[in-house]
A and B are shown apart, each in its own frame.
Chain A
Amino acid sequence: MSIAATVLIALGLAVSVSGAVGILRMPDVYLRIQASTKNVTLGALPVLAGLVVAKGFFTPYTGRALIIAVLLLVMNPIASHALARAAYKARVPMWKEWKDQ
């Protein structure tokens, strides 16, 4: 049981690290949004599942982890979409090697 939880938490951390590397290395705000959203959502859900697996199902962790997972799944795409739209409307420059604007 604890091995499964450790594997889940390590998986989530690896995806979160890849998201952070993407935010640091991508050349453009739109590409950074791409790197941020999916990796953050996919990095958070295994950590929440690992917490529930480690602590047991009939504990206070389950309900809270479920609420946080639903909030992440709903609010993260909304926030990223609003941010990308605002950046496009505010004419944030795109990557200069990106020809098709």
Chain B
Amino acid sequence: MTTVFGAACLAELAICAALLIRVALGPTVSDRIVAVNTMSTQITLAVLLFAAWADRTIYLDVAIWLASFSYLATIVWSRYLERGLL
């Protein structure tokens, strides 16, 4: 079971590496924000799977922090794009 967790964690990181292509290429700022928002969710799952792989439950709180605050960046950036001020 530990092997499954480690392999799934590496697969999530591979998905993040593929999304970095869109962050580099994206024609507008919105494309980059979409890719970064998706990457944050994938990194949350990667941290969860890493906690299960290493059997350290302290990392679960890191995943909760990421899931709570990664959306703040998206919402703040979209407010900035919409109104031109923060």
Contacts and interface: CB of A to CB of B under 8 A. Distances in A.
Interface of A: 2, 5-6, 9, 12-13, 16-17, 19-20, 23-24, 29, 32-33, 36, 40, 44, 47-48, 51, 54-55, 59-61, 64-65, 67-68, 71-72, 75-76, 78-80, 82-83, 85-87, 89-90, 92
A65 B51 CA distance: 12
Contact of B41 (A5, A40, A61, A83): A40
Contacts of B15: 16-17, 20
A92 B49 contact: no
Contacts of B68: 71
A51 B63 contact: no
The size bracket of the interface on B is 35 or more
Interface of B: 1, 4-5, 8, 11-12, 15, 18-19, 21-22, 28, 30-31, 33-35, 37-38, 41-42, 44-45, 48-49, 52, 57, 60-61, 63-64, 67-68, 71, 74-75, 77-79, 81-82
B60 A29 contact: no
Q: Is the interface of A mostly helix, strand, loop or mixed?
A: helix
Q: Is the interface of B mostly helix, strand, loop or mixed?
A: helix
B19 A20 contact: yes
Given A2-B1, A86-B30, 15 more contacts: A9-B8, A24-B19, A24-B22, A32-B31, A32-B35, A40-B42, A64-B48, A67-B64, A71-B64, A76-B41, A79-B37, A79-B74, A83-B74, A87-B30, A89-B82
A34 to B, nearest CB: 10
